[in-house]
Structure 1
Amino acid sequence: MNGLRLDARDVEILRVLETEGRITKAELASRINLSPSPCWDRLQRLEKAGIIEGYGARISLKALAPHVVIFVAAELETHKTDQFTTFETAVQDIPEVTACWALGGGFDYLLQVVTRDIDAYQRLIDGMLASDIGMARYYTYIVTKPVKSPSPLPYDALELPQKD
């Protein structure tokens, strides 16, 4: 956490912003029972420390366009540092890969992929296999329905400062 120590008010700022990113600074200050200037200072400190990575809107893919969401468990050909670097660099440039996690255990990576349809997905995978990014095997898991979408962090389950 870059040495930044959070207190209960900092955590409350994060809680509010995570679900209400468009809240005005004045309303945020009121909500956490702090005057606007100190609230603004705290907000800037959280941003500068990298705790707040950005602000954005949640987009309904279902309302936007037909699509398919696929999770891909990928294994690399070798487990050398340069192979991991090559793969990780390559997926940064593939817009259909909307998220990627390095894993410990059986698979090397879990990728979240969004494409127009299964044919587009297969063309993407074929291209990844043909390229020199080191992917040896992949396992496809097609999302049939969302059950729980990304939700706010479980602040109460983490060891964070709590309000009295």
Structure 2
Amino acid sequence: MDAKDRQIIAALQQDGRLTNQELSERVSLSPSPCLRRLRLLEDAGVIKGYTAIVDEQAYGLPITVFVRIRLERHTEDVIEAFERKIRDIDTILDCYVMTGDADYLLRVLVESLQDYEQFVRMRLHKIEGIAAIDTSFAYGIVKRSNVFPRVG
């Protein structure tokens, strides 16, 4: 991947609805080489897909919750079972494997505190192997970006 590929990616991260003509103008390439590079980035899995960025509150999910999970044991079976069950819960948007006190950090969107309580009681508590659940509610966003920082 070179600087021109990174320019293409940055332009698409800022506006994923650019036409190839608009994209080629932004990155100073003619349309045909620009499209060829774009297809190569998609085929290589560098660009994994395209999506709409939706306002959570307007959608009806105004509460963002960060949940730290610590497992009782770190055996292969416990880890695989936990991760498999987490992947199946659509309330969880992101799940990161962490260093430090928590083993995992989840980002969860819910409609209300009652919905979060139900999520914990009916979904998380039913996953075997969890030693601790620690919850933090986000009450504001200072910065959110979908554009990667520059490399090199």
- Common fold: TM-score over 0.5: yes
- Aligned-partner Cα distance in 1 for 2:125–2:60: 29
Instruction: Using structure 1 for the length normalisation, give the TM-score.
Output: 0.86
- Measured on the aligned residues, the alpha-carbon RMSD in Å equals 1.4
Percentage of pairs with the same residue: 35
The reply to whether residue 126 of structure 1 matches residue 121 of structure 2 is yes
Change (3 A) 1:150 1:82: farther
Instruction: Give the match's secondary structure for 2:118.
Output: helix
- For the residues of structure 1 that align with 2:145 and 2:96, how far apart are their CA atoms? 15
Is 1:63 the counterpart of 2:58? The answer is yes
**SS of the residue 2:136 aligns to:** strand
With the length of structure 2 as denominator, give the TM-score of the two structures: 0.93
Distance 1:132 1:138, change over 3 A: closer
Structure 1 residues 91, 66: CA separation in 2 closer, same or farther (over 3 Å shift)? closer
In the alignment, what sits opposite 1:20?
15
Distance in 1 (CA, whole Å) between partners of 2:58 and 2:115 is 20
Q: How many residues align?
A: 152
Corresponding residue SS for 1:125: helix
Could you tell me which amino acid in structure 1 is paired with residue 45 of structure 2? G
Residue 138, structure 1, aligned to residue 124, structure 2: no
Q: Superposed, which structure 2 residues align to 1:69-148 within 5 Å? A: 69-148=64-143
Alpha carbons of 1:79 and 1:29: their partners in 2 closer, same or farther (altered >3 Å)? same
Where do 5+ consecutive residues of structure 1 fail to align? 1-5, 160-164
1:3 aligned residue: none
The code of the aligned residue for 1:138 comes to I
Q: Deviations over 1:105-148 (max 9, x none)?
A: 21100000111111111111112344244222100101111111
1:43-65 Cα deviation digits (max 9, x unpaired): 01111111111111110112222
Would you say 1:38 and 2:33 are equivalent positions? yes
Q: For structure 1, which segment, 126-135 or 27-36, has the greater mean C-alpha deviation from structure 2 after superposition?
A: 126-135
> How many Å apart are 1:74 and its aligned residue?
0.4
User: Against the structure 1 CA distance between its residues 89 and 66, is the aligned structure 2 distance closer, same or farther, given a 3 Å change threshold?
Assistant: closer
